[in-house]
Chain A
Amino acid sequence: MKNKKYLFDKPKNVKLLIRALYASCFVLFTLDLVIDRHIYHPWEEFIGFYAFYGCLSCVILVLIAREMRKVVMRDEDYYDIKDIAVDDLRTEDENKNQGIEEKKKEDLMMTGEKVDG
């Protein structure tokens, strides 16, 4: 079962699929030269407008998205850290409060000793 070869395990099939895509792109582009399209907007007259637009917009989309990652990407637990951090800090805070109270108690003891003394 483990050694069973699936459709895309063979590099030949992947290549075939990609070549089919290239071929269909070529056919669609040449069809643009043959078929007379309706034009609503002057830019549409440009031969292969939709082909170029589709291709370019996707490349630009991905390039911008890649750059965006530098700004917006954070660790998977980015928002979790907040919870943990709040807890941590809360305990730290409590510790601090406790510390303050202990110090106060010490001070009290000190002064108390003085009073008693």
Chain B
Amino acid sequence: MDSLLPILPFFITAILALFTRGWVRAVIMIGTPIIAAYGIYNLEVGHTLNATLMGFELSPIRIDRLSMLFGYLFCIAAILGNIYALYHKDTMQHFAAQAYAGSAVGAVFAGDMLTLFIFWELMALTSSVFIFARRSDASLYAGIRYLVIQIISGLLLLAGIVVYYQSIGNLDFNHLGLDAPGAWFFFLAFGIKSAFPFLHNWLTDAYPEATPSGTVFLSSFTTKVAVYALARSFAGEEILIYIGAVMAFFPIYYAVIENNLRRVLTYSLINQIGFMVVGIGIGTELALNGAVAHAFADVIFKGLLMMSMGAVLFSTGEMRGSELGGLYKRMPKTAIFCIIGAASISAFPLFSGFVSKSIIVTAVLQEGYYGVWLILLFAAAGVFHHAGIKIPFFAFFSHDSKHSETAKEAPKNMLWAMALSSVLCVLIGVYPGTFYSMLPWPMDYMPYDTTHVLTQLQLLFFSALAFVWLKLAHIYPPELKSVNIDAEWIYRKLFPKSIYNITNIWSLFYGKVQLQMGQLLQISQYTTTQFFGADGFLSNFRSLGGMVMWVAVLLSASLFLYYL
């Protein structure tokens, strides 16, 4: 029972959230992650809970330093998200949020693949609620697309488990490597959820359609569980380095020209996961620590950025950069929190991104992947460009918009959630030692040395200089009402269009065939009637007696032939 303490409270609270209202529910929602975190604290590293189900040896709870760190992280994300979500009274979302957080915690503590699969699917189901909860046509369709892709990921995982169990005979979820039986199924399943290139569009499609608080939860859990699963099972696979490098750099281009600011953040989410995937691919203890640390920092600063954009959406009902601007006049506190989040994601010294991202970059350099290192440097400059400058600039500054007259500051609970996240971002950045001591593997790493601080500041300030120059020279692409074609075009445009075209051609063809057949039938019917009908040729002047005579003639002829 003690072993279930990290997970059970979330599910109990999910049910309690259905029946309670007002401040009672608020207290329960804020209290639960604290109880869960206390539950994790009480469990010892190395602890496992074993169970047997239908002949399968399962270990639903397995505690090690890696899962513990993610457990704590998800408790923090849940508490911040819950505080942020108190502004609405949508019971369905509150229920889903607790169940979603519980599933994420359950997934990282799962010691066997079957338990992992169950929580994997539970996460898919509960998270889709946040998208449907927007209750618009766009969110309905986006939610369905999201759910379909999440379920595909789950089915791939299940297929992998079946293949693996057939040849290995146990379900323990440990390091797999790409040579293990069924490994590619696992790889694809995890790859979909961690938004590998060409598999990434569910994220940029669905997250911006979710509710303001929903996107905060979504950006915290699903992708981070996938990162955890990759770190657990495919650490050190070289292919991940290159996949991660592509993930770190290609979404930046989309982020620069994207108009929907929450979609810009989803592209930068992929960019950040790219850094983590590179770290996992390198697979040294330093690199893995970097990947995990960056996942930790990312949940908080990306959550903070999503919160600030959610507050803007809540206040103005608008998320398109082309329609926003000048909001610092009406929402100064949100603007400040957004800038703190932006500084963290851009890895400014003294903010959380700096102490986590630099571990990965150092590990890449140490292992001699210089090409990847250059790409990561480019990605680091690019993320400052699109997330660090673009998000706050177009939402809160830039030109005045119609909303800069009417918008209201975010509700108190949102401000509290953003304030707490900001404090965490700064605390991690200023006191990295405590943060590093929580990481799964021992490492000897010091983020604050002159070289590192100086080079990072140079990189960032000169990126800002480039932004200012491009903006003043009117080269910077203006925010335009538009969408940009991405890999999703294949299933959102090509498939429906080709299916439509095929059915269209078929129905035309089929219509013609029907018409021709109909006419043919008509003609034959007409001719038959002409000959055999009541007024037909054969009925007009032949008498009954004549017919009988002819029958008699034919019969006798055949009789005659028979005896011949």
Instruction: Answer whether residue B511 sits at the interface, using C-beta atoms and an 8 A cutoff.
Output: yes
Question: Which B-chain residue is minimally distant from A28 (CB atoms)?
Answer: B458
Q: Which residues of B contact A104 (CB under 8 A)?
A: 514-515, 518
Per DSSP, are chain B's interface residues mostly helix, strand or loop, or mixed?
helix
| CB-based contact A72/B492 at 8 Å | no
- Check A91 for interface membership: any CB of B closer than 8 A: no
- Shortest Cβ distance from residue B526 to the other chain A in the assembled complex, whole angstroms: 6
Give Cα A18–Cα B366 distance, bound, in whole angstroms.
37
Q: Does B431 contact A (CB under 8 A)?
A: no
Q: Is the Cβ of B518 less than 8 Å from the Cβ of A68?
A: no
Answer whether residue B540 sits at the interface, using C-beta atoms and an 8 A cutoff: no
Known: A65-B256, A66-B475. A35 touches B460 (CB 8 A): no
Query: Is there a chain A Cβ closer than 8 Å to B373's Cβ?
Result: yes
How many Å lie between the Cα of A34 and that of B550 in the bound state?
A: 126
Point out the residue from A74, A96, A108 that lies within 8 Å of B485, measured CB to CB. Answer: A74
A73-B482, A74-B484 are contacts. A50–B466 as well, Cβ < 8 Å? Answer: no
The answer, yes or no, to whether B378 is at the interface (CB within 8 Å) is yes
With the chains together, A66 CA to B384 CA distance in Å?
18
Report if A18-B468 is in contact (Cβ < 8 Å); known contacts: A37-B451, A57-B382, A86-B500: yes
Instruction: Say how far B197's CB is from chain A's closest CB, in angstroms.
Output: 15
Other-chain contact of A29, B450, B458, B492 (Cβ < 8 Å): B458
Tell me if A69 is interfacial: C-beta within 8 Å of chain B.
Answer: yes
Given the known interface contacts A69-B477, A73-B484, the answer about A82 and B526 at a Cβ–Cβ threshold of 8 Å is no
**Residues of chain B lying within 8 A (CB to CB) of residue A25:** 461-462, 465
Interface size class of A (residues with CB under 8 A): 35 or more
Known A21-B461, A28-B454, A104-B518; contact A41-B476, beta-carbon cutoff 8 A: no
Q: Quick check: is A107 within 8 A (CB to CB) of the other chain?
A: yes
How far, in angstroms, from A36 to B385 measured CA to CA in the complex?
28
Which of chain B's residues 252-299 have a Cβ closer than 8 Å to chain A? 252-253, 256-257, 259
Give complex CA distance A56, B467 in Å.
11
A61 and B329 contact, CB distance less than 8 A? no
User: Which residues of A have CB within 8 Å of B461?
Assistant: 21, 24-25, 28, 51, 54
Residue of B whose beta carbon sits closest to that of A104: B518
A82 and B496 form a contact (CB under 8 A)? yes
Also in contact, A65 and B454, with CB within 8 A (given A74-B484, A76-B482, A93-B504): no
What 7 pairs across the A-B complex have the smallest Cβ distances? A58-B466, A54-B459, A54-B462, A65-B256, A55-B462, A50-B458, A111-B522
* Interface residues in chain A, defined as those with a beta carbon under 8 Å from any beta carbon in chain B: 2, 6-8, 18, 21-22, 24-25, 28-29, 31-32, 35, 37-38, 40-41, 44, 48, 50-59, 61-66, 68-69, 71-76, 78-79, 82-83, 86, 89, 93, 96-97, 100, 103-104, 107-108, 111, 114-115
